Copies of this chain bind each other. A is one copy, B any other.
């Protein structure tokens, strides 16, 4: 039960133990226990694509309890300030991507998985004239993949 003890420091409060505290403060967000925990899950192992409930179960499995409602709140908040980015790929669950740079996605239709592609969507904005009075703020590009049928060579 101690893999994520947090809260009571004795001495000079080790400054490097909570690397995400500064991240939160940079965005003017209060550094609460669950925000720090979720930020750690999100940003400790490379770019990720999570849904609210995958992240919640992950947190709970690691004894970093956060209610589903809070996970939603935190993910929405992070998305709002730009720490993560929400994707609407499958219509149902919202996927949050920790990679906020301009890139595209593979969507594996068989597994539902999502993978990043280093292809800037904005480069396609040149091919398109936005309607009068509007500007293109983002270009979402999703390459939908199907397992190649062996008969279909």
Contact = CB atoms under 8 A, between A and B. Distances in A.
A128 interface: yes
A84 B94 CA distance: 23
Interface stretch (A6-14, A52-60, A142-150): A142-150
A130 B106 contact: yes
Nearest to A117: B128
A46 interface: no
Copies of this polypeptide in the complex: 2
A138 to B, nearest CB: 4
Contacts of A138: 143-144
Given A119-B128, A124-B124, A133 B147 contact: yes
A127 interface: yes
Interface of A: 86, 88-91, 94, 104, 106, 108-109, 115, 117, 119, 121, 124-125, 127-128, 130-131, 133-148
Sorted nearest first, the 9 A-B pairs with minimum C-beta distance are A88-B91, A134-B145, A138-B144, A140-B142, A137-B146, A135-B148, A136-B143, A91-B94, A141-B141
